[in-house]
Amino acid sequence: MVKPFNSCGPDNEPAIPKHILVDHSPVAMYTCDLLGRITYYNRAAAQLWGREPKIGQELWSGSWKTYYPDGTPMPLDETPMAAILKNKNSFDQSEITIECPDHSFKTLLVFPRQLFSDQGTFIGAYNTLVDISYKENLETRDAFLSAIVEHSQDPIISKNLNGIITSWNKGAEKVFGYQEQEMLGKPITTIIPADRLDEETFILDRIRKGKIVDHFETIRVRKDGRKIPISLMISPIRNGSGKIIGASKIARDISEQIKTQEAIAQYTEDLETISSISRTISEKLDVQKILQEVTDATTRLTGAAFGAFFYKMINEEGEAYTLYSSSGAPKEAFEEFGLPRNTAVFHTTFSGEGPVRSDDITKDPRYGHSPSGIPKGHLPVVSYLAMPVVLSDSKVIGGLFFGHPLPGRFNARHEKLVASIAAQAATALDNARLFEEVVSLSTRKDEFIAMASHELNSPLTSVKGFLQLLNKKNRDATCGSFIDISMKQIGKLQKLVSDLLDVSKIKAEKLQIEKDRFDCKALLEDVIQTYVQDITNHSFNLKLNCQEVFVVADKLRIEQVIVNLVSNAVKYSPKSTTVFITLEKRATDLIIKVADQGIGLREEEVTKVFGRFYRAEERGIAGLGLGLYICSEIVRRHGGEIGVNSEYGRGSEFYFTLPLAIERQADK
């Protein structure tokens, strides 16, 4: 039985009114009468309920909602307080859950008691409420956490500061292969490889200092001895008073991640390799070098013990496959193949059907148990990979073949790599083949020019000789003019033939230069003198800045250069009348300039006029485009320089230099 709050202090001092104490108590309390109407509640009760009910309001009226601890609704007349008022004093303490007006839930421990008057009459009840939601929340959180830890796919392990395992979840069982009961109490070093034991000292050191070890990528050993890459996150565990008592470790098996990273790295490396090989082979125009480069690279990349490139050559008898290059074994070893026969093994490749990859070609059902393509005593091919080399128009130009004495050596990656390189090789080989054809045509053309000019020269010389004889013997007016015309035409023909001969000599590096010491000024004057007689329309403006100028050179060839430049100046200035010729002696060389006021050259033509057979825009002026080419070769062979300044439509100035002869005493 409980007395009402009306007693005094210990020494009969005036007591603090009890309701003030209760009002301000942190413990929630309220009272109600026998009908369950609220007669009093303190501040803590109002705060806990989240409402301030009216005094006199029935407890189980209105919007109160209560629940049993398991979450099922509790009718208001069955609450512990209602039961106490119904005189069922069976509640010592009980747990209920209430829903507050803001829809939050609170779990309360309630202590309802009956109230009696001084006379002992049952007048109502009072209730004390303790909010245990916090405790419950903690328990719930712990329950959730342990469920998460228990069922996590990732290993979650805890250990004490001595490295002894204190918990081991399902994820750890799966990843490391040890059961929980096997590992509890065991040192964590059980799963650390011997060469990484130092890591544990490092980890425990950091944990003792309260630090986290994050993203620690390492290797651990499974129960079956297999090593697995994992990423660790290790944090200190503290007890209630904050003292570090151990460490929790979350591990993640990163085998897949590492495999993906490795695959990406491998892919990048493959791309780089392919692009570097294609760069190398596309720069080459030599079939043999391309074949060797491709064979070496692909043999290396596939890890083959030996590799070979069979290349289709077209010979006089028709098409034939020729072994062009080999790697890892001498060519002769491959020649044992008997070269591509129409066997099942080779046919697939040379018909361009596609690649052939076999882990063990000797047992491959596609080709029978004893593949006829690999004779006895031949290279021990077990793993086999073959790739046709096909042009974009589907024409098969060859095949790449790889072998290894052990089975299962070639995989899909090797096949892809070889396919990419084979495609690059096909293009490079095609270019090289075209280039070889062009070179061969050009060589044949040079041979033809050499032979034709040589053959033409002899009859021309003889015709010229007879014309000269005729000229002396029978010179009446009509015949004389015919002979003159014929002589002129023969002269032109001879110039053409001799230019052609010179060109073939230059190509064959056989142009002879016979040097002598002579006065170039005198030569220039002589040439102009002779030339003037032939020219009717043009006059020559000659400027010579010295008395004499000695050079050591091939006089005939220098004369040829001067004649060429002068006759070009005349030829390409049909509408003007003057050609300007200057000779200047300089410190170490002389320079001869031949300028005209003719048709000139376009900017883009200037650099090309010294090329073989080059003729600037067709303007109806005859020529072969060889003169300047020969001049530039002659000047170059004398250590001089040749060039042109020109303005289109206004004229050109061709010049060349020659080194001066070392002065002798007498020349001074």
Out of 108, 616, 635, 658, which residue is the one contacting ligand ADP (CB under 6 A)?
A: 616
Total site size for ligand ADP, rule CB under 6 A? 21
Closest to ligand ADP by CB, 380 or 611: 611
Residue range at the interface with ligand ADP (CB under 6 A); choices 266-274, 550-558, 582-590, 607-615? 607-615
Out of 79, 596, 642, 661, which residue is the one contacting ligand ADP (CB under 6 A)?
A: 596
Name the β-bridge partners of 115. 124
Name residue 236's amino acid: P
Residue range at the interface with ligand ADP (CB under 6 A); choices 126-134, 194-202, 302-310, 616-624? 616-624
Cα separation, 36 vs 75, in Å, equals 14
Cα separation, 648 vs 650, in Å, equals 6
Distances in Å between the Cα of 666 and the Cα atoms of 349, 424, 550, 662, 663 are 81, 69, 12, 12, 8
627 sits near ligand ADP (criterion: CB under 6 A): yes
φ, ψ for residue 593 (rounded to 5)? Answer: -120, 135
Residue range at the interface with ligand ADP (CB under 6 A); choices 69-77, 148-156, 251-259, 609-617? 609-617
Name the β-bridge partners of 229. 219
495 sits near ligand ADP (criterion: CB under 6 A): no
Q: Which of 213, 202, 168, 211 is nearest to 187 (CA)?
A: 168
236 sits near ligand ADP (criterion: CB under 6 A): no
Minimum CB separation from ligand ADP for residue 511, in Å?
16
Closest to ligand ADP by CB, 67 or 614: 614
Query: Binding string, 53-82, against ligand ADP, x = CB under 6 A?
Result: ------------------------------
Closest to ligand ADP by CB, 435 or 614: 614
Q: Which of 54, 140, 77 is nearest to 105 (CA)?
A: 140
In the region spanning residues 186 to 215, those forming contacts with ligand ADP, defined by CB under 6 A, are: none
Task: Assign 434 to helix, strand or coil.
Answer: helix
Closest to ligand ADP by CB, 386 or 609: 609
601 sits near ligand ADP (criterion: CB under 6 A): yes
615 sits near ligand ADP (criterion: CB under 6 A): yes
Closest to ligand ADP by CB, 554 or 653: 653
155 sits near ligand ADP (criterion: CB under 6 A): no
Minimum CB separation from ligand ADP for residue 455, in Å?
21
Minimum CB separation from ligand ADP for residue 641, in Å?
17
Query: Binding string, 633-652, against ligand ADP, x = CB under 6 A?
Result: -------------------x
569 sits near ligand ADP (criterion: CB under 6 A): yes
Q: Which of 637, 528, 539, 533 is nearest to 592 (CA)?
A: 528
In the region spanning residues 508 to 567, those forming contacts with ligand ADP, defined by CB under 6 A, are: 564
Contacts of 190 (CB under 8 A, 6+ apart): 165, 178, 183
Residues 361 and 345 sit within 8 Å (Cβ to Cβ): yes
Minimum CB separation from ligand ADP for residue 533, in Å?
21
C-alpha dihedral (33, 35, 36, 38), degrees to nearest 10: -50
Residue number of the CB closest to ligand ADP reads 623
H helical segments located in 535-656: 555-571, 603-606, 627-637
Q: In the numeric block, which tokens belong to residue 36?
A: 């369950």
568 sits near ligand ADP (criterion: CB under 6 A): yes
Residues in the chain: 668
Name the β-bridge partners of 613. none
DSSP state of 103: S
Residues 342 and 306 sit within 8 Å (Cβ to Cβ): no
Residues 344 and 367 sit within 8 Å (Cβ to Cβ): yes
Residue range at the interface with ligand ADP (CB under 6 A); choices 368-376, 379-387, 526-534, 614-622? 614-622
Cα separation, 311 vs 332, in Å, equals 16
In the region spanning residues 345 to 374, those forming contacts with ligand ADP, defined by CB under 6 A, are: none
Q: In the numeric block, which tokens belong to residue 87?
A: 């005189």
Task: Assign 450 to helix, strand or coil.
Answer: helix
Closest to ligand ADP by CB, 70 or 617: 617
Out of 233, 391, 449, 624, which residue is the one contacting ligand ADP (CB under 6 A)?
A: 624
Contacts of 454 (CB under 8 A, 6+ apart): 501
Contacts with ligand ADP, residue ranges (CB under 6 A)? 564, 568-569, 572, 596, 598-601, 609, 614-616, 623-629, 652
